[in-house]
Structure 1
Amino acid sequence: MMKNVAMDAKLRGAQPFRSSAAASVVPRCRVAAKAISTSSQKQHHDEALTAQLARRELLLSVAGLGLATCMPSSPVHAGEEFTTFLGYATPPTSYGGYGGNAKETPRYTFEYPTGWKEEVPNKVEKGTQGIDGRVVNPRMRDQRAFVITLARAGEDNKSFRLTDLDSTLSGFAGADYDLQDALSSATNRTTSSREVDDKTFYDYDIESPEYHYLVTITVSQGKVFGVFVRSPTKSFTANESKLRHIVGTFRLL
């Protein structure tokens, strides 16, 4: 009897040990499926993120294009930095420290290169030479522009007419004695006329060995207006576009 009990105990002790953790082991096929699913989700997430970034870049590009289309175009000559000059064509008594006052209305305007300096004419220059306004290039004082206004309406007190362009231009030479020399020694000279705001403008281009002049003259209500741009001939070509811009923007107001 004791022998059988010992035998049974021995047989029970020989049974293999079963771990409770063995029941929770995931089959290998399920692990592989889970890994594939995780990889697929990651790939899908990456593709979605890439598509989202692409859409965002496209929207930004379209928005930028629309903004650029709606922006106003830059004004002509804005990059060249010109300054507006306003002239008043007042009597000589108004000069000597200022050209007119705040109560007066400008009579003419033009644009000159920024960096040039305005020089107010004195009473003598205004009274005897008719100089109404002047701007000078401080780096080259021989390069300048000045406006002459003459109130004379002719001996018969009627509207002054530019019937003799040569005589009229010579009559302005008193304001700049180099102009008379340029007229007499000109190597090239052209004249033309154009209509601006129902007014006739007479243009002169005078080239001499010493100076090159650009001139525009017109008449309004019996008063003569002339803008003269002067430059040393050797420096004219390098600054031609800016110098022609002065006479090209000359207008009566």
Structure 2
Amino acid sequence: MARREALLASIALPLLMQQSAQADAEYNKFFGMASPPTSYGGYGGNANESPKYTFEYPAGWKQEVPSKVEKGTQGIDGRVVNPRSKDQRAFVITLTRAGEDNARFQLTDTESTFASFAGADYDLQDALSDATNTEKGESEKEGIKFFNYKIDSPAYVYLSSIAVKDGKVFALFVRSPSRLYGAAANDLQHIVDTFKLL
């Protein structure tokens, strides 16, 4: 009997370890540097600089490096895309000056906040003006306040989490065509839930 139990254990343990590894492999970690445009793409800057933010994204998604122009004109620092539907994506915008009291970005006012970022994603302003539902919330992670938003519109659903640290605004946007949102809702929310500043 002990031999049979040992044999079953020797079969079951690797299977359990494989399932655990697969669960861990459901998501990859993204680390963003929030580098200024002048040092973006390996031009100048400090190669030993540590990441400024992180989030987890579905393992099947791919990282896309924004161009120096996207970084300089739109503030896009990092982006991941679902290769099966490139319209489903997550991207982080970093802006260097938040103003002394964060009032410049009015993070509690959805329209003002999103208008500041609309240049990085032109569908964002349309989604905001056509919104059928807008939700706001706040959370705190390691002493930093995050302003969280969900915008439902006929074309797109946007999830966002925005925070300020050391005078810099960090804004994560997760975008999905509305027709695809329901099936991917848990993965898309996971991106937002794991977004944190380092």
TM-score range (shorter-chain normalised) is 0.7 to 0.9
1:160 counterpart = 2:102: yes
Moved more, 164-173 or 226-235: 164-173
- CA separation in 1, counterparts of 2:80 and 2:45? 16
Letter in 2 for 1:207: D
Letter in 1 for 2:40: Y
Q: Greater helix share, 1 or 2?
A: 1
- CA separation in 1, counterparts of 2:2 and 2:168? 67
The aligned counterpart of 2:135 is 190
1:201 counterpart = 2:146: yes
The aligned counterpart of 1:215 is 160
> How far apart are 1:213 and its partner, in Å?
0.4
Change in Cα spacing, 1:213 to 1:168, as seen in structure 2 (3 Å) is same
1:129 counterpart = 2:74: yes
1:205-234 CA distance string (max 9 Å, x none): 101000000000011011100100000000
- CA separation in 2, counterparts of 1:193 and 1:78? 28
Count of residue correspondences:
191
The aligned counterpart of 2:38 is 93
1:191-213 CA distance string (max 9 Å, x none): 00011110111110101000000
Change in Cα spacing, 1:76 to 1:169, as seen in structure 2 (3 Å) is farther
Q: Greater strand share, 1 or 2?
A: 2
> Larger relative CO (CA 8 A, sep 6+): 1 or 2?
2
8 A Cα contact 1:98 1:120, kept in partner: no
Letter in 1 for 2:69: V
1:146 counterpart = 2:91: yes
The aligned counterpart of 1:237 is 182
Secondary structure of 1:141's aligned partner: coil
Q: Percent of pairs identical after alignment?
A: 57
- CA separation in 2, counterparts of 1:251 and 1:76? 24
The aligned counterpart of 1:78 is 24
- CA separation in 1, counterparts of 2:35 and 2:86? 26
> How far apart are 1:104 and its partner, in Å?
1.2
TM-score by length of 2: 0.85
1:17-48 CA distance string (max 9 Å, x none): xxxxxxxxxxxxxxxxxxxxxxxxxxxxxxxx
Secondary structure of 1:126's aligned partner: helix
> How far apart are 1:169 and its partner, in Å?
2.1
- CA separation in 1, counterparts of 2:147 and 2:98? 18
8 A Cα contact 1:159 1:222, kept in partner: no
For the pair shown, the structure with the greater C-alpha radius of gyration is 1
- CA separation in 2, counterparts of 1:232 and 1:208? 9
- Give the CA RMSD over aligned residues: 2.7
8 A Cα contact 1:191 1:202, kept in partner: yes
8 A Cα contact 1:216 1:247, kept in partner: yes
Change in Cα spacing, 1:198 to 1:234, as seen in structure 2 (3 Å) is same
- CA separation in 2, counterparts of 1:181 and 1:55? 67
- CA separation in 1, counterparts of 2:36 and 2:122? 23
Unaligned 5+ segments in structure 2 are none
> How far apart are 1:120 and its partner, in Å?
1.0
> How far apart are 1:93 and its partner, in Å?
1.6
